Structure 1
Amino acid sequence: MPLSGGAEFAGYTIIRPLGAGGMGEVYLAHHPRLARHDALKVLTAAAADDREYRERFDREADVVASLWHPHIVGVHDRGDHDGRLWISMDYVEGTDAAAMIAGHPQGLPPAEVAGIISAVADALDYAHDRHLLHRDVKPANILIAHPGTPDQRILLADFGIARRDDDTSSLTATNMTVGTVSYAAPEQLMGAKLDGRADQYALAATAFHLLTGGPPFQHSNPAVVISQHLTASPPKLAARRPDLAHLDPALSKALSKDPAQRFDRCVDFARALGHQLGTEPTAPALAVSAPHSHRQASGSRPSWLRPTVLVPLVLAVLLLVAVAFAAGEFIGVREAGPTHPTTSETPG
């Protein structure tokens, strides 16, 4: 049952709800000892009984608590209260990139997008350097604090499905069952080994969405979107915004099916984008360097990209997605609402 304003939970005083999803709610809450407001993420009792989701929830706190970066939402504490798991984190007063683009269906100003992508790229590379992958980069997970003011901040939120790049545990049956399909990299959808370039693909898909008003691939059936991520060439910006045709080389590179053909780091993609927009005048346009920590050699084509392997794998993935979607269990497709701590209102 949702918590009401004034209720006490784990010592916190609930002020009001900020958002809700299928597995829990996020509240604005007053800290029990400090004169500040935190965002309190609380799982439903049923979700807490799910061992896999409980482990994922605990890992979100452990993963993000190990990160300190100006563009990453900070986690303060976690616990178990009356059988319900909770995490307290920074309260971000403002909005998110998904809400911003909803108000600008033709796309945001390119310079504004470049600033958002640059900040998130820096946050992602910081995490990647510590062997952590986000795996769910999308507009809804990019928070904008105090938008349009001198105090504006851009923060990456929701490391709920993050994992180490050397994690071989079977916490989820396959990598493709987590994340949001509109932005997920082909190798993630195929359950292949991931590195930071999977997050780069999602960041590029996010940039495409912010620039045009829609993600690269769109369809009401998630299986079709997955098939397009795996086999179709990414659409050109020029087809939707001819004035941004000069950005196509950077986006096409970051959206390559083969991770080895993408930029080495997320900031390299952001700088290439900024260079073409004139916001990063000293950055090389499309220079490619050898991967700095990627285990696969850049000249080695992933086995799953070979036609004899890709076709049956695509069919198997689409069949699995169809079954999961029919059961209402495909995470990111059956979202019930925002789960991150953001609001455009003044704290009460």
Structure 2
Amino acid sequence: MLSPGQLFAEYRVVRVLGAGGMGEVYLAQHPRLPRQDAIKVLPIELTDDPTYRARFTREADLAAGLDHSSIVSVYDRGEDQGQLWIAMKYIPGSDANALMKQTGPFAPQDVVDVVTAVADALDYAHAKGLLHRDVKPANILIDGTSATRHKIYLTDFGIARTIGNDTALTAANLTVGSIQYT
């Protein structure tokens, strides 16, 4: 785990944002630009596993090819100190799962806004030949900085695959995704 103030891939770590199956995510100061990015880092214990390396690299490459207002932008990827990383747009706010735990169910109009934004993002990704395969509240980010209208983003293409691609980077007979949302 990286610590606040630590340099990683030339970025200065500000704080931990979260963790998931494919790594930890940090808020980090861009090394040259006056902005902060989200940096996803593959854990060191998975770095030597060729399957995890391939999945992590594929996530970055697939997501970097998407340019949509409701999909988190991928800026860069690389390897530093033996760990793979992806730099993405930082979305201030929270994910839909955390928000529902804090405030309860969304109001009907908020549900419409989330479903509309995510459906539009998925339509775009599908038109580009990409299946997300893990749409769930924790992978929907809501930018809470605007008092009038929240911006909604789909993130985490870690188990995505291209449409028509019969080869997978998962084991045979293995269910991918979060079972309660699959």
Shorter-chain TM-score tier: over 0.9
Question: What is residue 60 of structure 2 aligned with on the other side?
Answer: 61
SS at match of 1:76: strand
| 8 A Cα contact 1:24 1:47, kept in partner | no
Question: What is residue 51 of structure 1 aligned with on the other side?
Answer: 50
Q: Which runs of 4+ in 1 moved over 4 A?
A: none
> Which amino acid is 2:162 matched to?
R
Higher normalized strand content (fraction of residues): 2
Q: CA deviation at 1:170?
A: 3.4
Higher normalized helix content (fraction of residues): 1
2: CA distance, partners of 1:18 / 1:170? 29
Give a deviation string over 1:230-275, Cα, whole Å, max 9, x none.
xxxxxxxxxxxxxxxxxxxxxxxxxxxxxxxxxxxxxxxxxxxxxx
Question: What is residue 30 of structure 2 aligned with on the other side?
Answer: 31
Q: CA deviation at 1:147?
A: 5.5
Question: What is residue 112 of structure 1 aligned with on the other side?
Answer: 110
2: CA distance, partners of 1:50 / 1:112? 41
Query: Mapping of 1:284-299 within 5 angstroms?
Result: none
Q: CA deviation at 1:102?
A: 1.1
1: CA distance, partners of 2:146 / 2:34? 26
| 8 A Cα contact 2:161 2:168, kept in partner | no
Residues 124 and 22 (structure 1), Cα distance of their counterparts in 2 relative to 1, 3 Å cut: closer
| 8 A Cα contact 2:92 2:145, kept in partner | no
> Which amino acid is 1:183 matched to?
Y
| 8 A Cα contact 1:26 1:42, kept in partner | yes
Q: CA deviation at 1:150?
A: 3.1
Q: CA deviation at 1:177?
A: 2.5
2: CA distance, partners of 1:154 / 1:23? 22
2: CA distance, partners of 1:88 / 1:138? 22
Q: CA deviation at 1:176?
A: 4.4
2: CA distance, partners of 1:124 / 1:82? 34
Residues 151 and 113 (structure 1), Cα distance of their counterparts in 2 relative to 1, 3 Å cut: closer
Q: CA deviation at 1:23?
A: 4.6
Question: What is residue 161 of structure 1 aligned with on the other side?
Answer: 159
1: CA distance, partners of 2:22 / 2:68? 27
> Which amino acid is 1:55 matched to?
A
Matched, 1:99 2:94: no
1: CA distance, partners of 2:23 / 2:163? 27
Q: CA deviation at 1:78?
A: 0.3
1: CA distance, partners of 2:172 / 2:127? 24
Q: Return the index of the structure with the highest Cα Rg.
A: 1
Question: What is residue 139 of structure 1 aligned with on the other side?
Answer: 137
Report the RMSD for the aligned CA atoms in angstroms.
1.5
Question: What is residue 177 of structure 2 aligned with on the other side?
Answer: 179
SS at match of 1:92: coil
1: CA distance, partners of 2:18 / 2:149? 24
Question: What is residue 269 of structure 1 aligned with on the other side?
Answer: none
SS at match of 2:109: helix
1: CA distance, partners of 2:113 / 2:45? 40
> Which amino acid is 1:169 matched to?
T
Query: What count of residue pairs does the alignment treat as equivalent?
Result: 182
Give a deviation string over 1:85-122, Cα, whole Å, max 9, x none.
000001000011101211344x2211210111001000
SS at match of 1:40: strand
TM-score (norm 2): 0.94
Residues 162 and 123 (structure 1), Cα distance of their counterparts in 2 relative to 1, 3 Å cut: same
Query: Mapping of 1:1-348 within 5 angstroms?
Result: 2-105=1-104, 107-146=105-144, 149-150=147-148, 152-174=150-172, 176-184=174-182
Q: CA deviation at 1:22?
A: 5.0
Residues 118 and 147 (structure 1), Cα distance of their counterparts in 2 relative to 1, 3 Å cut: farther
Give a deviation string over 1:181-210, Cα, whole Å, max 9, x none.
0110xxxxxxxxxxxxxxxxxxxxxxxxxx
Gaps of 5+ in 2: none
TM-score (norm 1): 0.50
1: CA distance, partners of 2:39 / 2:55? 17
Q: CA deviation at 1:20?
A: 2.1
| 8 A Cα contact 1:134 1:159, kept in partner | yes
Question: What is residue 236 of structure 1 aligned with on the other side?
Answer: none
2: CA distance, partners of 1:99 / 1:25? 17
SS at match of 1:87: strand
